Amino acid sequence: MASRAQRMPTSLRIASSLFVLLWFVLAAFPFLWTVWGSFKVELDFFSIADWTNALTGARTEAVYGSPFTTTGYEGAWIQEEFWRNVLNTGIVCFFVVTISLTIGTLGGYALSRSSYNYTFWLLITALIFRAMPPITLVSGYLLPFFEWNIWGILPTTIIVLVAINQPFTLWMLHSFFKNIPSELDESAKVDGCNQFQAFRRVIIPVMWPGVITTGLFSFLLAYNDFAVGAMLLSESNRTMVPAIAAFLGTTQTEGNVMFAVAAVVSATVPLFILVMFFQRQIVGGLTAGAVKG
């Protein structure tokens, strides 16, 4: 592979390896540190006396007889009922991904198979919508939602998130369907299918890789949303991220920061698993837009 001329000089090789190591520490250390610290008491995780306490858990041992404790998790999940928020996030993510993929696939397919001028304008509008911060729309939602009495419930948030998701989904699936040769559905139409039958019998069987990649990003958007959930959900219907933000306000005064730390770690675990299993699709999705220019 690499010829001798391309081999790096030793000094550069060392510098490059050190840099990779530095980046590795920067990227991974905060997560490892927080996971480790979430099993400690607050005085260890935020230690004034000696920072090594966070590693050894000296105070935790003094209180609980072991350097690890799950009180943070118990406090968050049982006392503060974080499981409700986890459940809500599960519901929101499931419906957002399903609905937005269903309608996005139809729309993206249509955009990729039509060459009229309006497809361009629709795509441009979607691009502008994608660039707008979601919070700018929220003040437009509040009055009508109060008026119709649909503020604070999960279905409203799901529909709003589906809509906010659409521009990205459309762009992603549009460029994906462009790569499926249109001869496929043309020939199905020659054989007597109408457009929808051609879509169902010929395109659906081959579209799954693109749909899965798009679905991953839809899931991330719904899972990571803070602005919409914090503004449009009532306290009992909150999803995880707004709940964690609300935790901070209430727990800091009670000295229960560890509840928030435990909740943060709990909310990171699904993302960890997601990256582990779908690394290839995520990388593919990130670069898909770029390589196409």
Partner 1 sequence: MRHKTFLWFFLPTGLAMLLFIAMPIVSVVIQSIFAPHPAVLLEVENCTPLIGCTTETTIDQQATAALREAQPLGRFVGLGIYFDRGHLAIQEISQMWAANESWGGFFSDLSNLPFYRAMAFTLTFTFIVTPLTILLGLVIALAVNSLHRHLKGLMIFFSLLPMIVTPLIGSLILFWMIDSRGVIGNALVYLAGDPNFSLKASTGLMWVALMVYGVWSSAPFAFVVFYAGLQTLPQDQIEAAQIDGATRWQQVKFVVVPHLMPLVTFVALIQLMDNFKVFEPIIGFSAQAHAQSLSTFIFDDLGGETRQLSSAAATSVMTIIGVAILLSPVLVRTWRDFKGAR
Q: How many residues bind partner 1 (CB under 8 A)?
A: 105
* Binding string, residues 156-195; x marks residues near partner 1 by CB under 8 A: ---xx-xxx-xx-xx------------------------x
Does the footprint of partner 1 cover residue 11 (CB under 8 A)?
Answer: no
Instruction: Determine which residue in the list 14, 78, 124, 184 makes contact with partner 1, applying CB under 8 A.
Output: 124
115: Cα within 13 Å, side-chain hemisphere: 2
Phi, psi of 52 (to 5 degrees): -70, -15
- As measured in angstroms, the least distance from the Cβ of 206 to partner 1 is 17
Other Cβ atoms less than 10 A from the Cβ of 101: the count is: 21
Token look-up 């960890």 returns 272
Instruction: Determine which residue in the list 73, 77, 109, 177 makes contact with partner 1, applying CB under 8 A.
Output: 109
Piece of the chain touching partner 1 by CB under 8 A; list 48-56, 58-66, 73-81, 205-213: 48-56
Q: Terminus-to-terminus CA distance in the chain, angstroms?
A: 29
Does the footprint of partner 1 cover residue 33 (CB under 8 A)?
Answer: yes
Piece of the chain touching partner 1 by CB under 8 A; list 17-25, 57-65, 90-98, 205-213: 17-25
- As measured in angstroms, the least distance from the Cβ of 58 to partner 1 is 15
Rounded Cα distance between 60 and 54, Å, is: 9
Rounded Cα distance between 123 and 120, Å, is: 5
Nearest Cα to Cα of residue 93 among 247, 221, 204: 221
Instruction: Determine which residue in the list 82, 151, 223, 259 makes contact with partner 1, applying CB under 8 A.
Output: 223
Piece of the chain touching partner 1 by CB under 8 A; list 67-75, 78-86, 204-212, 216-224: 216-224
Phi-psi region of 248 (alpha: psi -120 to 50; beta: other; left: phi over 0): alpha
Which residue, 167 or 210, is less far from partner 1 as judged by CB? 167
Which residue, 65 or 173, is less far from partner 1 as judged by CB? 173
Does the footprint of partner 1 cover residue 128 (CB under 8 A)?
Answer: yes
Rounded Cα distance between 103 and 100, Å, is: 6
Token look-up 């459940």 returns 87
- Asked if residue 154 lies in contact with residue 91, where contact means CB atoms within 8 angstroms, the answer is yes
Piece of the chain touching partner 1 by CB under 8 A; list 58-66, 68-76, 203-211, 281-289: 281-289
Does the footprint of partner 1 cover residue 106 (CB under 8 A)?
Answer: yes
- 289's CB contacts (< 8 A; 6+ apart) are 171, 172, 175
Does the footprint of partner 1 cover residue 250 (CB under 8 A)?
Answer: no
